[in-house]
């Protein structure tokens, strides 16, 4: 099968890949993390080409499999398995299907012993691909027999489509499913009436999502914006865990200057 061409990506996207990999290296460096299972939802077996520099970079899946000491077991949930070739011969399981479906979720958790700790990385390609009801099921299914919820690193997209569709009646149901309620409509009204700014609207939306995670019982729910103060970020980094805080670590990693081959392309906020 012909290898697909690398997908074009912005420097900001490449920076996000670098930072996420660095976080995972740090996470697995602790003795307690070496027995964990790694669960990646919305897996994309792809390479990327930076639009600004032309540098070709591996995607997150390739990166995490090369981290040492790494995880005990890897589970990748993907819509398309055809690109999942040449995976290393270790505890790697690829689940093909829509993660919104109960049947796919059952396949995922069939591969995870109830005694295992889990790090789940979630980066949905759009708000329509993730529902709060699914998040609740993932959190419940990832809870160990000791009652400890899985660690979760979430890259929450703040895509323009979500905010453009807020005032479209035909999109209301999909946004309801994303947030798990219709409480977002008050924020949308404030934005439409210019009582709040686009940045304030995004902050309020994220606070609502954070509130959902806290209601699930997480002891630590933390958020970081990679954008400079006053600017609208393309995404936010969310950490949820019963075991400990990671916000200082996340801030340090995302604010560290990073390089593509031959070029520094990010400055600390």
Q: Per residue in 163-174, pLDDT tens? A: 778 888 888 999
| Reported confidence tier of residue 53, pLDDT bands at 50, 70, 90 | confident
Whether this model's pTM surpasses 0.75? yes
195, 173, 194: which is closest to 184 by C-alpha?
173
Residues 136 and 212: their CA atoms lie apart, in Å, by: 9
Domain ranges of the chain: 7-264
- What top-level class would CATH report for the domain 7-264? alpha beta
Query: Order of strands, edge to edge, in the sheet holding 7-9?
Result: 7-9, 47-50, 56-58
Instruction: Report whether 21 contacts 101 (CB < 8 A).
Output: no
Which tens digit of pLDDT belongs to each residue from 5-45? 888 888 888 889 999 999 999 998 865 544 589 999 999 88
Measured from the Cβ of residue 32, the count of other Cβ atoms closer than 10 Å reads 9
- The pLDDT of residue 44 is 86
Q: How confident is the model at residue 226 (pLDDT cuts 50, 70, 90)?
A: confident
Question: CA-CA distance, 258 to 268, in Å (whole number)?
Answer: 9
Which tokens go with 189?
Answer: 């009204």
Q: Is the pLDDT of residue 208 over 80?
A: yes
pLDDT, position 50: 85
Cα–Cα distance list, 47 to 12, 106, 228 (Å)? 15, 29, 28
**112: CB partners within 8 A, 6+ apart:** 37, 39, 73, 75, 118, 142
Q: In this predicted structure, what is the pLDDT of residue 269?
A: 38
Instruction: Give CA–CA dist 191/167, Å, rounded.
Output: 10
């Amino acid at each position: 099968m012909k290898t697909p061409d690398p997908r074009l990506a912005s420097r900001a996207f490449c920076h996000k890949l670098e930072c996420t990999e660095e976080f995972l290296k740090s996470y697995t460096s602790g003795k307690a993390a070496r027995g964990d299972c790694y669960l990646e939802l919305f897996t994309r077996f792809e390479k990327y080409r930076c639009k600004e520099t032309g540098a070709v970079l591996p995607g997150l899946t390739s990166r995490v499999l090369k981290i040492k000491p790494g995880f005990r077991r890897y589970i990748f949930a993907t819509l398309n398995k055809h690109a999942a070739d040449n995976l290393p011969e270790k505890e790697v399981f690829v689940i093909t299907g829509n993660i919104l479906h109960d049947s796919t979720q059952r396949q995922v958790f069939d591969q995870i012993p109830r005694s295992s700790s889990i790090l789940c990385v979630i980066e949905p390609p759009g708000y329509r691909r993730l529902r709060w009801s699914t998040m609740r099921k993932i959190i419940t299914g990832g809870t160990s027999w000791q009652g400890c919820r899985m660690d979760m690193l979430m890259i929450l997209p703040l895509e323009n489509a979500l905010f453009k569709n807020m005032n479209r009646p035909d999109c209301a149901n999909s946004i309801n499913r994303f947030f798990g309620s219709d409480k977002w409509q008050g924020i949308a009204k404030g934005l439409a009436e210019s009582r709040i700014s686009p940045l304030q609207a995004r902050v309020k939306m994220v606070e609502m999502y954070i509130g959902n995670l806290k209601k699930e019982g997480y002891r630590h729910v933390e958020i970081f914006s990679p954008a400079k103060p006053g600017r609208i970020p393309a995404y936010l980094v969310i950490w949820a865990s019963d075991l400990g805080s990671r916000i200082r670590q996340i801030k340090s990693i995302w604010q560290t200057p990073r390089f593509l081959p031959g070029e520094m392309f990010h400055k600390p906020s």
